[in-house]
């Protein structure tokens, strides 16, 4: 009987540790929050409306019940953007077959980055608009989304070599439109962490 009791105790201990480990694996929710009537209200991505490389309107509804990775770039960028797109392509390839995971890349130079140019850009990368949306729109709306929703810089600056200031961040957004992770899109190891976190986030919805 003593041996049985020891086995039962050991099994229960393993179950408790496993349960705690699962809870610890949940990704944090980033951004501002407030408590209203005992409920925590988290920062969420604002509604938006842009046009993608297929001339299709892309809104928050496009990402309904989807996890997605977002970033800000421009096609004529000669500094960090080429590295970012190489790394985002890794994310695209790693999430192949994950129907609930999309990518959303906003140009911060809509005057130059026309729909046709974005289509050519996506074609050269060999990616599908079903999974990776390159979007353009009203400049102020794009900048507002970057700064107010995603908490990353995006603005014109004539003192910069390419005329813009923007972030190299990749943002992981969950199905409730909450930011669950921020990663340096120019660092392969950080993108490795993003890919792993996408898998972790998907498990939260299983």
pLDDT digits (tens, 9 = 90+) for 45-73: 999 999 999 999 999 999 999 999 999 99
What is the pLDDT, as a whole number, of residue 17?
41
66 falls within a domain: yes
Would you state the pLDDT for residue 16? 40
Count of domains forming the chain: 2
What's residue 25's pLDDT? 77
Tell me which residue range forms the domain holding 171. 40-204
Q: What is the pLDDT of residue 125?
A: 97
Domain match, 103 and 47 both? yes
Q: What share of the chain is helix, strand, coil (3-state, %, to 5)?
A: 40, 25, 35
Q: What is the pTM of this model?
A: 0.87
Q: Which residues of the chain have pLDDT under 70?
A: 1-24
Question: Could you tell me the strand order of the sheet in which 49-52 lies?
Answer: 57-59, 49-52, 132-136, 101-107, 67-73, 169-173, 179-184
Residues 16 and 64 in one domain: no
């Amino acid at each position: 009987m003593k041996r049985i009791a020891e086995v039962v105790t050991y099994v229960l201990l393993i179950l408790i540790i496993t349960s705690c480990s699962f809870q610890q694996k949940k990704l944090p929710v980033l951004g501002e929050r407030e408590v209203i009537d005992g409920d925590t209200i988290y920062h969420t991505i604002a509604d938006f409306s842009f046009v993608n490389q297929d001339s299709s309107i892309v809104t928050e509804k496009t990402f309904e019940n989807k996890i997605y990775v977002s970033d800000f770039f421009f096609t004529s960028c000669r500094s960090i953007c080429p590295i970012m797109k190489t790394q985002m392509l890794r994310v695209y390839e790693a999430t192949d077959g994950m129907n609930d995971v999309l990518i959303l890349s906003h140009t911060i130079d809509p005057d130059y980055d026309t729909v046709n140019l974005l289509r050519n850009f996506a074609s050269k990368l060999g990616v599908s608009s079903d999974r990776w949306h390159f979007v353009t729109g009203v400049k102020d709306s794009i900048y507002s989304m970057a700064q107010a929703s995603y908490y990353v810089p995006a603005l014109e600056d004539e003192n910069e070599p390419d005329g813009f200031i923007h972030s190299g961040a990749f943002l992981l957004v969950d199905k409730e439109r909450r930011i669950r992770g921020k990663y340096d899109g120019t660092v392969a190891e950080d993108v490795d962490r993003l890919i792993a976190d996408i898998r972790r986030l998907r498990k939260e919805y299983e």
